[in-house]
Amino acid sequence: MARLFGTDGVRGVANKELTAQLAMDLSIAAARVLGEAGAFHGNRLRAIVGRDTRISGEFLSAAVAAGLASAGVDVVDVGVVPTPGLAFLVNDQDSDLGVMLSASHNPMPDNGIKFFQRGGVKLDDFLEDQIEERLGQQWQPPTGAGVGRIDAQTGEALVHRYIDSLVASLGEIRLAGLKVVIDAANGAASLTAVPAFEASGATVTGINNTPNGLNINDNCGSTHMGGLQAAVVEHGADLGIALDGDADRCLAVDAEGNLVDGDKIMAILALHLKAQGKLHNNTLVATIMSNLGLFNSMRQHGIQVEQTRVGDRYVLEAMAADGFTLGGEQSGHIIMSEYANTGDGVLTGLQLAACMASSGRTAADLASVMTTMPQVMINVPNVDKMRAAIDPEINQAVTSANRELGDGGRVVLRPSGTEPLVRVMVEATTRDQAQGVAQRLADLVASRLAF
């Protein structure tokens, strides 16, 4: 049987793969696993539950809260909050468990469940496997005073604590004089991103920050940058910030409307932290999907890059293992361990703006530290993604392509951790070469791995 947990929790179409019953069962199993592991203080577990703005989050978060309370867990339901905000509150409130209902950048019909343990840290593979094993098992639920309580009254005040923490991350730096456009993707940061930037001194224009339950990620946010690029130019802004549905990603736009992706943001922050003596071991942690241009730029500035598997959880694991202070993904998941233990799009945007404010340099000037190598990504859907790594013809073709590209390029072929497809990424010295090699491999994947 396929593993229920992917690289970022459990995801599926809400009310189809991801039902209220599954949400409840997962929550009960999580409470039992963490409770039996002694992962709580006091007599009973305490949990915080949050969600993004998808309409399905309303019934799924209710199911999660019900499941946890039935397992004897006291629950605070904070409502709509960014995923990193939920992680912050789990740590800030000394809670034993956090549950976030979100499918991040996925389309509105999807939803997902992410669990956080004490300290606001995502569960490791072992604990997720333990939760899966408990699903459907017989158990003896508590009764009477043993059941949990659900508090839906204190959530707003807790969300304001998260906003205050974002502003505090800037220290003495103020963003006065910076004009910023923020695209909240009609998602979880619709009520937090603009206030955080305004409280930091910036002049802010918010777009796509009127969620209605149906419009999250709908032609907006970090997966659809065109609207933000146009808005930055239209408003004469210095910087544009694009978030995704749960606001753990940040991509940026300079004053001319040019994209500043996660790799360039990491390059900017790495140099900034190094200059302050805060880049531990002069090392940046990035995944295998980061552009070769990032590795080249960091090497030129005396910064090492440690590579991990794709997924911000693996970046975080590498950072925690060696005490590194900065890591992330090209997609905009950026982790700054001084301030947070998960990717936080609003925090990243604030720190990028702080680099501009403290240096007096434009976003374009700061981003010029890195030259992006031509990169082509092709997603191949409707294939048996689990056979991608073991098919002999595909492996031979990848080896041959890497030989063809030489030192000026590379191939990364991997199954998606959250969607039923295989990703083919190729970098080369020219875009035409990258496109040609990527298309050739994608066609082979489609033919060899078709169901």
Known catalytic residues are 104
**Which residues are CB-neighbours of 25 under 8 A, at least 6 positions away?**
67, 135, 136
Paired tokens of 273 = 């932290």
What length is written for the chain?
451
Evaluate whether 39 touches 118 at the Cβ level (below 8 Å): yes
Evaluate whether 264 touches 370 at the Cβ level (below 8 Å): yes
Q: What angle do CA 192, 31, 26 make, to 5 degrees?
A: 80
**CA dist., res. 82 & res. 222, Å (int):** 15
Q: How far apart are the first and last CA of the chain?
A: 17
Q: What angle do CA 288, 291, 297 make, to 5 degrees?
A: 115
Paired tokens of 7 = 């690289």
**CA dist., res. 374 & res. 365, Å (int):** 20
